[in-house]
Amino acid sequence: MQTELWILFKKAVSFRTKGLTVFPSHRLPIQQHLAVYQQGNGRRCCWTNFLFVSFQKLEAKALIKLNFAKNNDGKYHCPVLYTIFTNNSHIVANKVTGNVFSYEAVEQLNIKTKTYKDLLTDEPFTRQDIITLQDPTNLDKFNVSDFFHVKNNMKVPDPDEEKAKLDPAYHLKTTNLETRETLAELYKDYKGDSLLASTMKEPEKKKTDKFNAAHYSTGRVSASFTSTAMTPQTTHEADKIADDVVRYQYVKKKGYIRLHTNKGDLNLELHCDKVPKAGENFIKLCKKGYYDGTIFHRSIRNFMIQGGDPTGLGTGGESFWGKPFKDEFRPNLSHTGRGVLSMANSGPNTNKSQFFITFRSCTYLDRKHTVFGRIVGGFETLTAMENVESDPKTDKPKSEIKLLSATVFVDPYEEADAQIAEEREKEIRKQQEEAEASAVKIKAKDDEKPKVFRPGVGKYINMTATKRPAAEEDDRPSTSSAAKRLKGKSGFGDFSSW
């Protein structure tokens, strides 16, 4: 009988639902396996599936600690064949010792020779003690229909989704024209019905102006032309550019902040004109008082000092927007020199509130951490902070280094917002003046009615202005023929005298 296995993940968060413990379905790297334990009546562990475990009491002795071997590059590999473990490697473990090997090594040195002794410690074991951690040839794990939670229709309730389902329009994501007309007729007949009213919501159109209008359209015309679920659109509308993109175009200055610590003050210059997102996050958090009373939880001499975590553990902190924001790498911003201010993160595009200040050049951190400022005053305070001894195991300063408060001297984002608001007001006034001028022209044109000279057909024609009086024709001497003759003799003539 093949041994049923369970893998506990280091970053998995379990919760109870219907008597089961459910783990997230994302596939984690090999190095994040923590332990395995045997469960006779459990389900098969699958990389791409939820882990469902019968919620029963687990004894500590049922857990097996796995021992992974690393090479000089810090990569996990087989300690016998020295092959690096990847997502396509066949990996097994010894239940007795917990040592992890590639299946090729166990197959060649243990199974085929029938010598069941650990390849590192020489401890005896049985074939049933071989635990399969990863088998790329096992295609059953990719068959979604065989998954336990799919067969038993087990779903994890999402609070946001359950709340959204209360809205009657939840199931009407896209409706065609006929459906909208039908709902409109029903709404007329049953006017005041809140259930029908919720389905009559038109999609909100993005308001654009001269500043946030993109050079491309929303694509609704082409989408409605090819889709029967959309209301036909015949006019192209410019798409809306994100507000931050528009605002950051007006940020042309540096930001200046003073951090007040129990060791002294630090004057910071922020590169808001080059890395606007990180700069705005830091300034907004300082103004909010987010950093007030926090400690620098990590300090390594000749390297850096790190802070910005309200919990003081190095695992907390949130950005001003409540979610991580992307990295901003610039070729002219580097971790060169002492006093460089940079964002701490847990991987690409995971910037939150934590930051660090370098004690020396760390150019190997370039394009890994966002440099968004530097110290321009208070280097003696930075030296005093560096001189505080730290715990060699946790790198936490033995005596507390606290950030008391922060003072913002220059906030270029407020100036940018004020400039945008002023230009928008000017644009609105200009459009109003043009609209008024055009309305006056139209009104003046309408007021200019043609003058009536006589009744009937041709009443708008002034006959006295177009017809010359007969008396003038008779009284004027006839000199036209003489003039013609004089004019004719001025040249070679018309041969009339021949």
Instruction: State the SS3 of the chain.
Output: CCCCEEEEECCCCCEEECCEEEECCCCCCHHHEEEEEECCCCCCCCCCCCEEEECCCCCHHHEEECECEECCCCCEECCCCCCECCCCCCEEEECCCCEEEEHHHHHHHHHCCCCCECCCCCCECCHHHEEEEECCCCHHHHCHHHCHHHHCCCCCCCHHHHHHHCCHHHHCCCCCHHHHHHHHHHHHHCCCCHHHHHHCCCCCCCCCCCCCEEEEECCHHHHHHHCCCCCCCCCCCEEECCHHHHHHCCCCCCEEEEEEECCEEEEEEECCCCCHHHHHHHHHHHHHCCCCCEECCEEECCCEEEECCCCCCCCCCCCCCCCCECCCCCCCCCCCCCCEEEECCCCCCCECCCEEEECCCCHHHCCCCCEEEEEEECHHHHHHHHCCCECCCCCCECCCCEEEEEEEEECHHHHHHHHHHHHHHHHHHHHHHHHHHHHHHHHHHHHCCCCCCCCCCCCCCCHHHHCCCHHHHHHCCCCHHHHHHHHHCCCCCCCCCC
**How far, in whole angstroms, is CA 249 from its chain's centroid?**
18
Choice among 101, 369, 374, 403 that is catalytic: 369
Choice among 306, 351, 355, 403 that is catalytic: 306
Choice among 33, 220, 271, 298 that is catalytic: 298
Is 303 labeled as catalytic in the residue annotation?
A: yes
Cα distance between residue 248 and residue 397, in whole Å: 38
Choice among 365, 379, 419, 424 that is catalytic: 365
Is 50 labeled as catalytic in the residue annotation?
A: no
Is 369 labeled as catalytic in the residue annotation?
A: yes
Amino acid at 105: A
Choice among 233, 262, 345, 419 that is catalytic: 345
Choice among 52, 320, 356, 359 that is catalytic: 356
337 — alpha (psi -120 to 50), left (phi > 0) or beta? left
With contact defined as beta carbons under 8 Å apart, do 93 and 129 qualify?
Answer: no
In terms of Cα–Cα distance, which of 248, 240, 194, 189 is closest to 217?
240
Is 306 labeled as catalytic in the residue annotation?
A: yes
Is 365 labeled as catalytic in the residue annotation?
A: yes
Choice among 125, 303, 329, 379 that is catalytic: 303
Which residue numbers are catalytic? 298, 303, 306, 345, 356, 365, 369
